[in-house]
Amino acid sequence: MNELSKYYDKVLMTEEEIKKMVARLGAEITRDYAGKKLFLICVLKGGFVFMADLVRAIDLPLEVDFIAVSSYGSSTKTSGVVRLLKDIDKPLNDKHVLIVEDIMDSGLTLNYIKSMFVNRNPLSVKVCTAFDKPERRKVDITPDYVGAVIPDEFVIGYGLDYDGILRNLPDLCILKRDIYEK
Ligand code: PRP
């Protein structure tokens, strides 16, 4: 990823470290849901890389679906407004739902999504996030599974973008400050 190295000056988590993190989460989820069938719902767009890795680390029968929400635009700050752009296809009444996110920041997005799914009366709803910035939380929501707690930096890669690009970086990196401050 030579062409993309100009966008960051620090790697926060390497591809190898992320692999281990996903393996650990997959093992935890496999243990916790033993004997059950899971329904994983990925929050697009950022969640797609983590989702693809996580499903292959879970040794259980599972289904997948995807939702799309919009909360940020190209700004780095949350607007607090969550819009549902794409919903799932099936009712949830007989499902154990696990929401899969790339990152939790203010918690506003997941708070909205979790309440929406809880209101559809599934068997259970839990949240799995690859990365968490708990110090940024604006609402009282704690993920059930967390890959890594990270500092309050503008992170890119492993599904996370800057202005739509850089999601394909295999490492989790810190965006160069002069790129978003110019
Ligand atoms: C990011 C991320 C979460 C949300 C977290 O999505 O994927 O959905 O922000 O922030 P919060 O905890 O403050 O609500 P973003 O709006 O950047 O969309 P994207 O996944 O399509 O890039």
Average pLDDT for 120-129? 98
Q: What percent of the chain has pLDDT over 90?
A: 88
From 12, 20, 39, 2, select the one nearest 173 (Cα to Cα). 12
Distance (Å) of CA 33 to CA 27, 37, 39, 46, 96:
10, 8, 11, 25, 9
Residue 28, burial from CB neighbour count under 10 angstroms (0-12, 13-18, 19+): middle
Half-sphere exposure of 142 (CA within 13 A, CB side): 1
Average pLDDT for 118-133? 98
Write the pLDDT tens digit of every residue in 104-113. Answer: 999 999 999 9
Per-residue confidence (pLDDT) for residue 79, from 0 to 100: 57
Write the pLDDT tens digit of every residue in 18-77. Answer: 999 999 999 999 999 999 999 999 999 999 999 999 999 999 999 999 999 987 554 545
Average pLDDT for 108-123? 95
122 CA to centre of ligand 1 in angstroms: 24
- Angle, helices 15-32 vs 48-55, to 10°: value is 60
Active site residue 89: no
Q: The pTM is what?
A: 0.94
Pocket of ligand 1 contains residue 137 by CB under 6 Å = no
Pocket of ligand 1 contains residue 132 by CB under 6 Å = no
From 69, 73, 66, 71, select the one nearest 84 (Cα to Cα). 69
Q: 173 pLDDT exceeds 70?
A: yes
Question: Which token pair is 81?
Answer: 């407004």
46 CA to centre of ligand 1 in angstroms: 7
Per-residue confidence (pLDDT) for residue 4, from 0 to 100: 94
Distance CA 45, CA 167 (A): 9
35 CA to centre of ligand 1 in angstroms: 32
Any idea which fold 6-176 has? Answer: Rossmann fold (3.40.50)
Half-sphere exposure of 54 (CA within 13 A, CB side): 31
Q: Identify the weakest region by mean pLDDT among 1-5, 15-19, 73-77, 152-156.
A: 73-77
Pocket of ligand 1 contains residue 48 by CB under 6 Å = no
